[in-house]
Structure 1
């Protein structure tokens, strides 16, 4: 088996609950924060009957930055892509975020946001572990966000 684990059906692979551990590193100041929590990939409730259903990604946990712990959450939508190994990722309000193609077990995606560029690398290690690394660069940002996901039983 190679370094990456190919995914035949992204939405089936992601469905369920995942333990999340994320580090956020500000390369300009060398400050580092940490998020721990869970992500649940469940069915989209508002899917129209004739439309292929996607997944609702709901993440919640605690983010600690400079010694201060705060609750944190985010919601994304994962819609079917052009084939089962791909998905279209949207923000909760339906704005496009990035494409995701895990047919090889690895994907690089860009998301321009105002003056910043978010470049994400997604890697799948096996049926129970995957990871994302986002590099964020812009006039006021120089960050690396590294997230590990482990499937919960």
Structure 2
């Protein structure tokens, strides 16, 4: 079932202990705040919710988020949202899959130690759009993911900040 995640990782090797520890530090509940900002700098949407990382096996965790989306001008009713991914530790970083069958790669990135945290950059082509992403982990307290989205009809940035639920 989920153990097949490894079959999707090209040239799979056992992840370095540091990458498994990074993944393990994500386990638990997180408060999330997400903003979608147009290329003009105007906030379009605000989302608030809870995210959960749950271990499946040593180097694989399931990510689930749910919450409420509101337009910044308040003209539309609130909408509930949810998403699921699988996070897998790799020798030098993390791989994220959409949690669906068949599995589809979302992003793969190398993590680099930066002071007290880790960083990684990735790109995802979702034709005709491109998602360029930056992951910043300042664990155990929080982490942030920024996606710059560009395409024929898209030009916005998604900024998500996570804080550990106490």
Q: Comparing both chains, which one has the higher relative contact order based on Cα–Cα distances under 8 Å and sequence gaps of 6 or more?
A: 1
What do residues 109-151 of structure 1 show as CA deviations (whole Å, max 9, x unaligned)? 0001111110001112342111111000000100100010001
RMSD: 1.9
Structure whose residues are more often helix by fraction: 2
What is residue 58 of structure 1 aligned with on the other side?
A: 64
**How many positions carry a matched residue from both structures?**
139
Question: Whole-Å Cα distance in 2 between the matches of residues 70 and 141 of structure 1?
Answer: 21
Once the two structures are TM-superposed, the CA of residue 81 in structure 1 deviates from its matched residue by 1.1
Structure 1 counterpart SS, 2:23: helix
Asked if structure 1 preserves the Cα contact closer than 8 Å seen for 2:25 and 2:139, the reply is: no
Q: 1:1-153, aligned counterparts within 5 Å?
A: 8=19, 9-27=21-39, 30-44=42-56, 52-65=58-71, 66-67=73-74, 68-83=77-92, 86-93=93-100, 94-104=103-113, 105-153=118-166
Q: Which runs of 5+ in 2 are unaligned?
A: 1-17
Structure 2 counterpart SS, 1:117: strand
What do residues 42-65 of structure 1 show as CA deviations (whole Å, max 9, x unaligned)? 023xx6xxxx55111000000112
Asked if structure 2 preserves the Cα contact closer than 8 Å seen for 1:10 and 1:87, the reply is: no
What do residues 72-109 of structure 1 show as CA deviations (whole Å, max 9, x unaligned)? 000001122125xx221000121001114334211110
Structure 1 counterpart SS, 2:91: coil
TM-score, with length taken from structure 1 = 0.82
Question: Whole-Å Cα distance in 2 between the matches of residues 56 and 38 of structure 1?
Answer: 14
